[in-house]
């Protein structure tokens, strides 16, 4: 997921940018486009297990730091 310099892998970032919510009210929406309060709710309640949980956790950090604009062009 990251290179030797600690930077995120470009392919992984593209995968993260294109990841979509598989269930619920926002099914089919890109994770980066989920409402902030929904991502914060997951942070408070606990992220789901597996890849989706890791992706949502990363999206949370990206949104927290105002970096969504970096992923949007990769969709």
pLDDT tens track for 13-25: 999 999 999 999 9
Give a yes or no: residue 3 inside a domain: no
Selection from 24, 55, 56, 23 nearest residue 39 by Cα: 56
Residue 5 inside a domain? The answer is no
pLDDT in tens, 2-49: 555 555 688 889 999 999 999 999 999 999 999 999 999 999 999 999
Q: Which residues contact 37 (CB under 8 A, 6 or more apart)?
A: none
Tokens matching residue 8: 């995120």
- CA angle 58-39-66, nearest 5°? 60
Is residue 17, in this structure, part of any structural domain at all? yes
Range of the domain at 36: 10-74
Q: Is the residue at 1 inside a domain?
A: no
Closest CA to 71 of 24, 2, 29, 19: 19
The pTM assigned to this predicted structure is: 0.85
Position 40 in a domain: yes
Q: How many domains does the chain have?
A: 1
- Quote the crossing angle between the two packed helices 50-64 and 36-45, to the nearest 10°: 120
């Amino acid at each position: 997921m990251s290179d030797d310099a600690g930077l995120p892998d470009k392919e992984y970032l593209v995968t993260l940018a294109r990841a979509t919510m598989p269930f619920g009210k926002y099914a089919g929406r890109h994770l980066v486009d989920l409402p902030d309060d929904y991502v914060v709710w997951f942070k408070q309640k606990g992220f789901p297990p597996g890849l989706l949980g890791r992706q949502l956790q990363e999206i949370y950090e990206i949104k927290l730091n105002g970096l969504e604009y970096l992923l949007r062009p990769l969709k």
